[in-house]
Amino acid sequence: MKKISQQSQKFTLISLKTKNLKKKQILSICKLKNSFWPWTIRKQLEWYKKTAKKMDINNMLVINNRLVGYTLLRKRNAYENNKSFIYYYLDSFILHKKFRNKGYGKTLILFNNKILNKLKKHSFLTCTKKTIPFYLQYKWKILPKSKFKIMDHKPAWFNSKNSINGMTYNLDRKVKKGIFYYFN
């Protein structure tokens, strides 16, 4: 996937594979992530280099040449009934705090949905209970906890008070036994 750009007077949407990002773009992504998940820029860069693979898709919302929204569609493997398949893990959905509650979240999730539709792949995300209603508005569906297992990861926000909620997009079949998702 090459650069996909969608422009309006207010914003630009850009989609690039990790292998096509410039160092400056990666730094902007890490700075934006650090505004919500404060680890230090160095730790964010380490996480990014370790986590983002060459074929993962970085979706960016840019206003006035400034990155204000971001998601990472991580191309990964999952298993169902002992069969492997490719899916995209929707990771790091973030909007700069000055741009929240202005419709940009809707713009960014619909951009992700459009890309997933074009790829004809399903996507999975983990979220808190509080954010489920947002995703439901945009055709994401709750995957019951008994129907999935995350094999190699615990989300950063997970603690004993939070349970992991899973949601899917473009999952065109009923899950019988369960899907085993790999994130790394």
Among candidates 71, 55, 77, 176, which has minimal Cα distance to 122?
A: 77
Distance CA 123, CA 71 (A): 13
Task: Tally the domains of the chain.
Answer: 1
Tell me which residue range forms the domain holding 38: 4-181
Q: What is the pLDDT along the chain (184 residues), one digit of tens a residue?
A: 445 555 544 899 999 999 999 999 999 999 999 998 888 999 999 999 999 999 999 999 999 999 999 999 999 999 999 999 999 999 999 999 999 999 999 999 999 999 999 999 999 999 999 999 999 999 999 999 999 999 887 655 455 556 789 999 999 888 988 999 999 8
What is the Cα 158 distance to its own chain's centre? 16
Specify the CATH number for the domain of residue 12. 3.40.630.30
> Kindly report the CA angle at 152 between 93 and 32, in degrees rounded to 5?
25
Distance CA 107, CA 18 (A): 21
**3-state class of 89 per DSSP?**
strand
